[in-house]
Amino acid sequence: MSLHVTIDQTRPMRLAGSFQCAPGQLVALVGPSGAGKTSLLRGIAGLMKPQHARISVGSACWCDTAQGLWVPPQQRNVGLVFQDYALMPHMNALDNVALPLRGPERLHRAREMLRRVGLAPEHLQRRPAQLSGGQQQRVAVARALVREPAVLLLDEPFSAVDQMNRQTLYALLAELREDIAVPMVLVTHDLNEARLLADELVVMAEGVVLQQGRADAIHRAPRNARVADIVGMANRFDGVWLGPDANSTAGTGWLRWGNGDAALNLTVRDKGRIEPGQSVAWVVPGEGLRLCEETAAEPATANAAPLNSLGLPVRVVTLRHLGDVWLLRLQCLDGPQASFQIMLTGPQVRPLGPGQVLQLCMDLSMVHIMPIKTGAGALASTS
């Protein structure tokens, strides 16, 4: 009973792309504000009628504009948790959860669902205004799940609760997930939340689905520069793709990084998707960067080969404390004028201070090059 969504519209706003979500899988739609995440979710719920779309769950088709098929939201059996919960203010918690149900068992089932989401029995008769944000959210989740929906949709459900409540609710969602065997789609602008909760990310910008995949896979190989920016890859640089290396082993090529005398030619993986001579963006994920002894890596020479570590002398610019980890900003001393960001934990950072000169090792096998252009066109050119 997988969820398949393909959408293409220009009005009232641009919305294009497709994604899938398997039963029991949680997919997070991520992207900046106005990326169309919520609109896509509304399209799935049937609260918005797209110009051109096909939306199906298993064998049931909810929307197929080519066939003129449109199933109204009432008949879709979707569980939707709204951003501000949208609980009925004139009903108590129990009645809110019983709202989608019919028949004599409705209150019993609602009570059971509220027990599962951990709402205390003494709160069942309270109206939303008398409940805390976290409790309201539990009621909203219970209402979405009580009808055993075919798809569970969550529209930024954690944005209105404080950090402590959020952690508890993450745990609740993780626990509930074990029993929910339907596709789940989460809209969030919080990347950490998406990585923590979701099996896969669907990266969106300006209404277009740019990439779907596991968070680590997207991080290792973002489809284009826009995706790299959206998933927060700090170490993104510009360069020119020189093309495959005829003398070297298959699957590698030359990337020119920087201009003039300071330029470096790096040997990196070549997937054969980019024309030689084209300007490119390239990224190296955090796991491809580490501080090392001076002798451990190849020095930064004009032609760093083969495909291994590149040593770069760097100076520590700033050290920022981010809770359990430290964020280091490093400036290259030789080669292209570039700065890197790396994360370190306590023991590694203790001997360091601003102004200190270190050796940064970059694992060239983890360098990923991609086209600079964004949008739907980039999808076709790289996949």
Partner 1 sequence: MDWQALTLSLELAFATLLILLPSGLWLARWLARTRSRARAWIEATVVLPLVLPPTVLGYYLLMSLGGHSPIGRWASETLGITLTFNFLGLLIASVVFNIPFMVQPIQRSFESIPHNLIEASVVSGLSSWATFWRVELPLAWPGVLSALVLTFVHTLGEFGVVLMMGGNIPGETRTIAIAIYDRVQAFDLSGANRMSLLLLVFSVLAIVVSLVASGRLAPNSRARQHP
Binding site for partner 1 (CB under 8 A): 45-47, 72-78, 80, 82, 84, 86-90, 99-100, 127-130, 143, 147
> 46 or 253: whose CB is closer to partner 1?
46
Least Å from the CB of residue 43 to partner 1: 13
Fill in the amino acid letter for 173: L
Which CB sits closer to partner 1, 82 or 241? 82
Q: Which of residues 78 and 198 has its CB atom nearest to partner 1 in the complex? A: 78
Least CB distance from residue 80 to partner 1, whole Å?
5
Q: Which of 152, 304 has the CB closer to partner 1? A: 152
| Smallest distance, partner 1 to C-beta of residue 186, A | 16
Min separation Cβ 129 and partner 1, Å: 5
Nearest CB to partner 1, comparing residues 48 and 198 = 48
Q: Which is nearer to partner 1, 87 or 316 (CB)?
A: 87
Listed residue (324, 325, 323) closest to 342, CA to CA: 325
CB of 336 to partner 1, least distance (A): 50
Smallest separation, CB 218 to partner 1 (Å): 30
